[in-house]
Structure 1
Amino acid sequence: MKQFIQNLPKAELHLHIEGTLEPELMFKLAKKNHVVLPYNSIEEVRQAYHFTSLQSFLDIYYKGAAVLIEASDFYDLTLAYLKKCHEQNIVHTEIFFDPQTHTDRGIAFETVVTGISEALEEAKRRYNISSFLIMSFLRHLSQGAAFETLEASLPFKDKIKGVGLDSSELGNPPSKFKEVFQKAKEEGYELVAHAGEEGDSRYIWEAIELLDVRRIDHGIRCEEDEKLVAYLQKTQLPLTVCPLSNVKLKAVKEMGYHNILKLLHRGLLVTVNSDDPAYFGGYLNENLEAVATSLQATKEEILQLVENGFRASFLSNHEINKQKAYFASMRS
Structure 2
Amino acid sequence: MTFSKALADKDYETLRTMPKSDLHNHATRGGNIRDFFDDVDLPKRDFTNLDEMQQWYDANIKYKFSGQEGFIARVESAFKQAQHDGIRRLALSFGIGDSIHFASLEAYFMAIRQLHQTIAPEIDFIPELCLGRTSNIEPVQDMFDEVIEYDFFKSIDLVGDDRDSVANYKSIYRKAKSKGIILKAHLGEFGDAESVRKGVDVLELDEVQHGIAAATSIEVKNWLRTNDVQLNICPSSNVMLNRVPSYEIHPIKELFHHGIKVTINSDDMLIFDQSVTQDYINLFESGCMSANDLNTVRETGLLLR
| TM-score, scaled to structure 1 | 0.78
Cα distance, 1:260 vs structure 2: 0.8
Kindly indicate whether the alpha-carbon contact (under 8 Å) linking 2:20 and 2:87 is maintained by their aligned counterparts in 1. Answer: yes
Whole-angstrom distance in 1 between the partners of 2:179 and 2:58: 29
Bigger share in helix: 1
Whole-angstrom distance in 1 between the partners of 2:286 and 2:25: 22
- Paired letter, 1:94: A
Whole-angstrom distance in 1 between the partners of 2:52 and 2:81: 26
| Number of aligned residues | 293
Kindly indicate whether the alpha-carbon contact (under 8 Å) linking 2:253 and 2:288 is maintained by their aligned counterparts in 1. Answer: no
- Paired letter, 1:19: R
Please list, as runs of the form range in 1=range in 2, the aligned pairs for 1:84-99 lying within 5 A after superposition.
Answer: 84-99=81-96
Whole-angstrom distance in 2 between the partners of 1:106 and 1:49: 33
Relative to structure 1, the CA distance from residue 253 to residue 145 in structure 2 (aligned partners, 3 Å threshold; closer, same or farther) is farther
C-alpha RMSD of matched pairs (Å): 2.7
Kindly indicate whether the alpha-carbon contact (under 8 Å) linking 2:21 and 2:88 is maintained by their aligned counterparts in 1. Answer: yes
Relative to structure 1, the CA distance from residue 56 to residue 149 in structure 2 (aligned partners, 3 Å threshold; closer, same or farther) is farther
Please list, as runs of the form range in 1=range in 2, the aligned pairs for 1:16-35 lying within 5 A after superposition.
Answer: 16-23=26-33
- Structure 1 residues 301-330: Cα deviation after superposition (integer angstroms, max 9, x where no partner): 11111011123x44xxxxxxxxxxxxxxxx
Name the residue aligned to 1:163.
156
Whole-angstrom distance in 2 between the partners of 1:5 and 1:54: 31
Cα distance, 1:267 vs structure 2: 1.1
Cα distance, 1:245 vs structure 2: 0.3
Name the residue aligned to 2:52.
56
- Structure 1 residues 85-112: Cα deviation after superposition (integer angstroms, max 9, x where no partner): 2222112211111224x35889854454
Kindly indicate whether the alpha-carbon contact (under 8 Å) linking 1:18 and 1:65 is maintained by their aligned counterparts in 2. Answer: no
Kindly indicate whether the alpha-carbon contact (under 8 Å) linking 1:174 and 1:203 is maintained by their aligned counterparts in 2. Answer: no
Whole-angstrom distance in 2 between the partners of 1:191 and 1:212: 7
| Stretch moving more, 145-154 or 103-112 | 103-112
Aligned residue among 55, 74, 79 for 1:77: 74
- Paired letter, 1:165: L
| TM-score, scaled to structure 2 | 0.85
Kindly indicate whether the alpha-carbon contact (under 8 Å) linking 1:76 and 1:119 is maintained by their aligned counterparts in 2. Answer: no
- Structure 1 residues 131-154: Cα deviation after superposition (integer angstroms, max 9, x where no partner): 110101011463223213313313
Aligned residue among 5, 23, 42 for 1:13: 23
Name the residue aligned to 1:129.
123
Relative to structure 1, the CA distance from residue 296 to residue 154 in structure 2 (aligned partners, 3 Å threshold; closer, same or farther) is closer
Asked whether 1:202 is paired with 2:199, we answer no
Asked whether 1:285 is paired with 2:295, we answer no
Cα distance, 1:193 vs structure 2: 0.8
Kindly indicate whether the alpha-carbon contact (under 8 Å) linking 1:14 and 1:242 is maintained by their aligned counterparts in 2. Answer: yes
Structure 1 regions of 5+ residues with no counterpart? 29-40, 315-332
Between the two proteins, what is the percent identity of the paired residues? 21
- Paired letter, 1:166: V
Please list, as runs of the form range in 1=range in 2, the aligned pairs for 1:166-315 lying within 5 A after superposition.
Answer: 166-170=159-163, 172-311=164-303, 313-314=304-305
Cα distance, 1:224 vs structure 2: 2.6
Higher relative contact order (CA closer than 8 Å, sequence separation 6+): 2
- Paired letter, 2:29: G
Kindly indicate whether the alpha-carbon contact (under 8 Å) linking 2:29 and 2:78 is maintained by their aligned counterparts in 1. Answer: no
Kindly indicate whether the alpha-carbon contact (under 8 Å) linking 1:196 and 1:220 is maintained by their aligned counterparts in 2. Answer: yes
Secondary structure of the 2:282 match is helix
| Stretch moving more, 59-68 or 174-183 | 59-68
Cα distance, 1:230 vs structure 2: 0.7
Relative to structure 1, the CA distance from residue 56 to residue 25 in structure 2 (aligned partners, 3 Å threshold; closer, same or farther) is same
Relative to structure 1, the CA distance from residue 142 to residue 287 in structure 2 (aligned partners, 3 Å threshold; closer, same or farther) is farther
Cα distance, 1:9 vs structure 2: 1.1
Name the residue aligned to 1:38.
none
Relative to structure 1, the CA distance from residue 26 to residue 177 in structure 2 (aligned partners, 3 Å threshold; closer, same or farther) is farther
Kindly indicate whether the alpha-carbon contact (under 8 Å) linking 1:204 and 1:219 is maintained by their aligned counterparts in 2. Answer: yes
Secondary structure of the 1:151 match is helix
Secondary structure of the 1:210 match is helix
| Stretch moving more, 142-151 or 187-196 | 142-151
Whole-angstrom distance in 2 between the partners of 1:105 and 1:124: 23
- Paired letter, 2:199: A
Whole-angstrom distance in 2 between the partners of 1:92 and 1:49: 28
